[in-house]
Chain A
Amino acid sequence: MGGGNEDSLHPSTDRALAQQVLDGDRDAFTALIRQYQNLVASVAYRMGIRRESVEDVVSEVFMKVYTRLHQYDGQHALSSWIYRVATNHVLDHLRARKRRPSIALDDVAEPADTRVDVSQESELTERDQLVRRAMQELPDEYQRVLALKHYEELSVEAIASTLDLPEGTVKVRLMRGRQRLRKILEARHPEYFGAAELAGAR
């Protein structure tokens, strides 16, 4: 998962790190942030957090990680658990922004001195950005599975484990999510995604 895959091989290290933080070791928490902040930032950006807001969102995620770490069970990789905290927070954030469009002003207010470094963003075509934005219109449950499959490149089995869902549910959501995504894109941007419509009646 975004450079975090190897962590799942060391669940005991994850547990030890979590325990150190729970015991009040600030250096351990610093190490934890360093290890996972780019994973969280990448997840946030891909799911639709604006570049200027990425640092805020990542900081908020780690505050949540700190206060909720006692809920980490040590069974899954810490990266999966943090991923889950991060996606929940990002989805909440996006929902709040949708409800209150004025909040976008906050985003604009932040000057360009942001230390967020986005690599390969320039390689995103307009079409890619449209797909990224269309993903945000999907219901949360579809966004989650599609993000894990295509952004994090996880197998159905790994997605099921990360989200604590049966594999059958994951498969159904992947399929329905894909169909909804295509319909949104066809309707909004037929110039890019309308070939099926143009090709003939259904």
Chain B
Amino acid sequence: MSADCRPYRRALESLAWDDLPGGAERSRLEAHLAGCTACQQALAVERSITASLEAVGRVQVSVSVESRVLAALPADAPRPARPLRKWQIGVLVLVAAGGLLGAAADSGDLALAFLQTAVVSSRFLPSEVLETGRSVLDALPAVVQAAAVVGRAADAVLRGLALLIPPAAVVLGFVAVLAVLTFVAVRRERRTAPITRGNR
């Protein structure tokens, strides 16, 4: 292949790999090829490589490994875990905290807003979490009433505390408790690792 051939090299590769659409470039290459033995041979080599790859691609292999794989799984295989992601845990904690806050403030609107958030975010949650969520929703009226009672009691306690501690400290304390809860939940998630390979 001489220096004259260089400009055609890429087009020639494309042609050999069936990637060169018709057009001016292809016409120029074909005109060059007609008079250049070196490029014709280069094209033949490229095409033979394509043909070989396609031949390898046609090989089909059949196996039957299902019994072997199933036998390699532990008998009472803990099913492949779908661990909670950190943000999912975060959403859960926030929603729970918000619900508590709403109840504590005896504010039906706030509690409702957080419940709606919970319903929307539940689309992204795994089924086990959803089932728990559903049973909670079933028990909702009773829970709300109980929460209101708790809320009023908490309110009274907080009012009492507020006389002793500045409100900012109460908020900070609440945030600290949330942080600890999230941390513990994330640690637990890491420990529930998926099953280990059993076939070695």
> A residues within 8 Å of B by Cβ?
2, 21-24, 26, 29-30, 33-34, 37-38, 41-42, 44-46, 54-55, 58-60, 62-64, 66-70, 115-121, 123-125, 127-128, 130-132, 135, 146, 150-153, 174-175, 178-179, 181-182, 185-186, 192-196, 198-202
Contact = CB atoms under 8 A, between A and B. Distances in A.
B45 A63 contact: no
B1 A196 contact: yes
Contacts of A130: 52
Contacts of A179: 13
Contacts of B69: 33, 59, 62-63, 66
Contacts of A34: 66
A6 to B, nearest CB: 16
Q: Which 10 A-B pairs have the closest CB atoms?
A: A24-B79, A131-B52, A150-B53, A151-B57, A199-B38, A41-B61, A70-B82, A195-B41, A196-B42, A117-B62
Nearest to A30: B66
Nearest to A34: B66
B81 interface: yes
Interface of B: 1-2, 10, 13, 17, 37-38, 41-42, 44-46, 48-50, 52-66, 68-70, 72-73, 77, 79-83, 127, 194-199
Contact of B59 (A46, A69, A125, A193): A46
Nearest to B58: A120
A68 B55 CA distance: 32
B65 A37 contact: yes
Most buried by B among A26, A70, A186, A199: A199
B55 A125 contact: yes
B48 A193 contact: yes
Contact of A151 (B41, B45, B46, B56): B56
A22 B73 CA distance: 14
B166 to A, nearest CB: 46
Contacts of A41: 61-63
A187 to B, nearest CB: 13
B38 A200 contact: yes
Given A117-B62, A202-B1, A182 B70 contact: no
B101 to A, nearest CB: 32
A67 B197 CA distance: 8
Nearest to B37: A199
B65 A59 contact: yes
B53 A195 contact: no
B79 A22 contact: yes
27 contacts: A37-B66, A38-B60, A41-B62, A63-B199, A66-B73, A66-B195, A70-B83, A115-B64, A117-B63, A118-B60, A121-B59, A127-B48, A128-B56, A131-B52, A135-B53, A150-B56, A150-B57, A151-B57, A174-B17, A181-B49, A182-B49, A186-B45, A194-B45, A198-B41, A199-B37, A199-B42, A200-B1
A37 B17 CA distance: 29
Contacts of A181: 49
A135 B73 CA distance: 34
